[in-house]
Amino acid sequence: MIERKTPRNLPLRFGIIALIAAPGISHAAQVANGEALGDACTSCHGIGGHGTGYIPSIAGVSKVTLLQELKAFRAQSAQATIMNRIARAYTDPELEALAEYFSSRPRQ
């Protein structure tokens, strides 16, 4: 049996490749995976941010707008039924990653 040895710095190499491969995305958004974080949003805002019904669709909304609204929810300065409580659990890089992800989704 042949034993394969993996370099210890393999995750670091993939991180560097990701930074080079996606120059338009900030480092903080790359560290916090917006798509993975966005899975928690799908129960209300729909898969990929394509909501139906009373909860707004957030797919394709500008990153700046989404980030401002998320930060306002977290700061308790925007009216909401539940988003004020949800947004408090996220860091700035995570909010940036969420805004980056949902703004990149096509509107339906």
10: in domain = no
55: in domain = yes
65: in domain = yes
pLDDT tens per residue, range 56-92 = 999 999 999 999 999 999 999 999 999 999 999 999 9
pLDDT tens per residue, range 8-67 = 544 444 443 343 444 455 554 456 899 999 999 999 999 999 998 889 999 999 999 999
8: in domain = no
Length of the chain: 108
- Between the CA atoms of 29, 82, 89 and 71, what dihedral angle is there, to the nearest 10 degrees? 50
57: in domain = yes
42: in domain = yes
53: in domain = yes
CATH of residue 99: 1.10.760.10
**How many domains in the chain?**
1
Any idea what DSSP says for residue 21?
H
Domain that holds residue 53: 26-104
Residue ranges of the alpha helices (H) in the chain?
10-21, 27-31, 34-38, 42-45, 63-74, 83-87, 92-104
